[in-house]
Structure 1
Amino acid sequence: MTIITFSPELLLYSKSHNPNPPTHLGSRYREVGGFLPEAGNTIVCHLVKGSPTQMALIEAREKYLAMAEAPQFLFTPVSSLHMTLFEGIIESRRRRGYWPDDIPLDAPIDDMTELLAARLEGFSTAESFKVTVVEARPSGLVVDGATEKDRKIMHAWRDAFADLLGYRQPNHADYQFHVTFAYPVERLEDEALPRWQAMLDEVTADIRRKAPVFELTPPAFCAFEDMNHFRELLIFDFDA
C-alpha cells in the first residue's frame, strides 16, 4: 500500500484540516459572481508577455482548470498573473501596520495611490533578482529568489519600499512570495487530496523544467479596482 504524504500547503485547503472559511470569501470575491470591488495599490512583477515562463504558467493553470474540483475555485485572468514584491494598501484592510502611520485610516484610496506614488518617486534603482518556483499549492505557486543572494536582494527591495512608504506589515520579514492562479470558494474533500497532490507535484516539476528562472518585468507600482487587472503607474528599472 502506497502512503501519500500531503504537503502542508495542500492541507490548508482541506475541509477536514482547515474548516475555517476562506479568508477573502465575501470581501474579495463571491461564491457566485466573481470578484468584488476591492480597490488598492501594490508593487508587483508581471510575467513577460509571450515568454517561456508565461507559457509554462498558462499550461500549469490549465492543469488546475482540468481538475474535477476546479469549480470550487475562482480563477484570476491570465493577464493578471504576477508576483507581488511589496503589498500596498487596500480598501478592506484599513488598520495600522497595513497603512502609513502618518496618514488617516479613512483617506480615500485614490488619494492614497497618488500619495504613495509621490513617495516612490524617490526610489533609486536596485539590483535585479532571479525568481524560481518553490512548490505549487491549490491557489497557485509559492516562489522565491533562485539563490540566497537573490533572496537577500528581494528583501532589500522590500525594506526600501517600507521605509519610503511608512509602514511594515506584520509578515514583512517572512512574507511568502507567490503567483496566484485562483482563490478557494469551497475547501477540498479528503478524497480529492491524492489527486491534487499528484497534480501539484507534476506542475512543480514541469515549471522547474520549462522555466527554471522566471522571466519577470521590473517591479511596478500598480493600482487595481479588483483582482482582475493591475494597472502599472510607476516602473522601477533595475540597476544596469
Structure 2
Amino acid sequence: MEAEYGLQIGVKFDLNGAPLKYPGNTVIADVRKGNPAYAVLDQTSSRLRQTDFSDCFIFLPEDSYHVTIIRGMNDQVRKPGFWPPKLPLDTPMDQVDDYFEAAAGPVSVPEGIRMKFVRLQINEDDVRVCVKPADTEQEQILKDYRSQVAHSLGFQLPGHNEYVYHITLAYLLKLPGAEYQQELHRIEESINSCLKGQDCFYLSRPYLAYYNDMMQFHPQRFPRT
C-alpha cells in the first residue's frame, strides 16, 4: 500500500522531504537555547525522532524554533483575503517586502511576553506545540499588537481573531500507518502530560523576519530571486 503523504508535500517540501521555495515575510519571536522552553521543545522533538515511524517527519532545525506572532504575505498565496488590498496581486516579492517593512516596522513591538504550553498537535500538515499567553494581560498586549500590524498592513488574514500561537517542530512527509497509531497516541498523551506541568516562559523580542523556505528565517532582508 502506498504511503499517504502530508498535506504540505508538493507545497512546502518535495517527496524526499527537501524544502521547496516558499518565499514570504512574517513577525516571529525565537525560542533560543537558554530559554527553559527550548529544552522542552528539544525533548519533545527527540521523543518523536526515537519512534519507529520517525521517517514520517521532516524535522525542522532546532535553531529555527519560534512562535509566529503575525503571519505576513507569502509569494504562493496571492489571493484576496491573504493579500493587502492596496498591493497588486502580481507585485514582485522584493516590493512586497518593502510594503511589509514600511507597514509593520514602525509598530511598537511588545517585549517580555510570557507564554505557557497548551498541547502537542500532530495532524496531516505538521507537528506543533500549541502555546498561549500566560494571562489575560499578556493576551491583550499581543492582541493589540497584532491588530495594529494588521491595520498598518491594511488587512486581516482569515482566522485573525482565532489564531492559535504555536511552535512548529516538524512537517509530515507521510502519515504514520495504522500499525503506529497506538504508539503515537501514547506518545502524545505522555508529552501533553509533561507540557501541562511546565512553567510559563518568556518570548524573545518579536521581529520582522523573511524566509525563502520553511527551514530558515532571517532577521535581515535578502535579495529575492
Q: TM-score range by the shorter chain?
A: 0.7 to 0.9
Return structure 1 stretches of 4+ with deviation > 6 angstroms: none
Does 2:225 correspond to 1:225? no
Does 2:153 correspond to 1:169? no
Contact 1:45–1:217 under 8 Å retained in 2: yes
Which residue identity is paired with 1:78?
A: E
**Counterpart-to-counterpart distance in 2, 1:57 and 1:113:** 30
Alignment partner for residue 191 of structure 2, among 199, 203, 228? 203
Per the TM alignment, residue 149 of structure 1 is displaced from its structure 2 partner at its CA by 2.7
Per the TM alignment, residue 21 of structure 1 is displaced from its structure 2 partner at its CA by 5.7
**Counterpart-to-counterpart distance in 2, 1:216 and 1:66:** 28
Which residue identity is paired with 2:179?
A: E
Does 2:167 correspond to 1:183? no
**Counterpart-to-counterpart distance in 2, 1:158 and 1:99:** 16
Does 2:84 correspond to 1:83? no
Structure 1 gaps of 5+ residues are: 1-18, 235-240
Q: Cα deviations across residues 18-59 of structure 1 (Å, max 9, x unaligned)? A: x98633210110120411111111111101332222122111
Contact 1:57–1:207 under 8 Å retained in 2: no
Q: Bigger CA drift: 193-202 or 34-43?
A: 193-202
Structure 2 gaps of 5+ residues are: none
Which residue identity is paired with 2:33?
A: K
Per the TM alignment, residue 80 of structure 1 is displaced from its structure 2 partner at its CA by 0.8
**Counterpart-to-counterpart distance in 1, 2:67 and 2:47:** 20
Contact 1:117–1:221 under 8 Å retained in 2: yes
Three-state SS of the structure 1 residue aligned to 2:52 is: coil
**Counterpart-to-counterpart distance in 2, 1:162 and 1:28:** 25
Q: Cα deviations across residues 143-190 of structure 1 (Å, max 9, x unaligned)? A: 111223322322222111100111111111101111101111212333
Which residue identity is paired with 1:224?
A: Y
Three-state SS of the structure 2 residue aligned to 1:98 is: coil
Q: Bigger CA drift: 37-46 or 120-129?
A: 120-129
Share of identical aligned residues, percent? 24
Three-state SS of the structure 2 residue aligned to 1:50 is: coil
Three-state SS of the structure 2 residue aligned to 1:183 is: strand
Per the TM alignment, residue 193 of structure 1 is displaced from its structure 2 partner at its CA by 2.1
Normalised by the size of structure 2, how large is the TM-score? 0.87
**Counterpart-to-counterpart distance in 2, 1:163 and 1:88:** 12
Q: Bigger CA drift: 175-184 or 189-198?
A: 189-198
Residue 47 of structure 2 corresponds to which residue in structure 1? Answer: 63
Contact 2:111–2:206 under 8 Å retained in 1: no
Per the TM alignment, residue 128 of structure 1 is displaced from its structure 2 partner at its CA by 4.3
Three-state SS of the structure 2 residue aligned to 1:67 is: coil
Query: How has the CA–CA distance of structure 1 residues 46 and 32 changed in structure 2, closer, same or farther, with 3 Å as cutoff?
Result: same
Contact 2:109–2:145 under 8 Å retained in 1: no
Three-state SS of the structure 1 residue aligned to 2:116 is: strand
Q: Cα deviations across residues 79-119 of structure 1 (Å, max 9, x unaligned)? A: 11111011011111111111111001111112211221112
- The count of aligned residue pairs is 215
Residue 203 of structure 2 corresponds to which residue in structure 1? Answer: 216
C-alpha RMSD of matched pairs (Å): 2.1
**Counterpart-to-counterpart distance in 1, 2:81 and 2:179:** 39
**Counterpart-to-counterpart distance in 1, 2:5 and 2:81:** 24
1:1-240 map, 5 Å:
22-126=6-110, 128-138=112-122, 139-209=127-197, 211-233=198-220
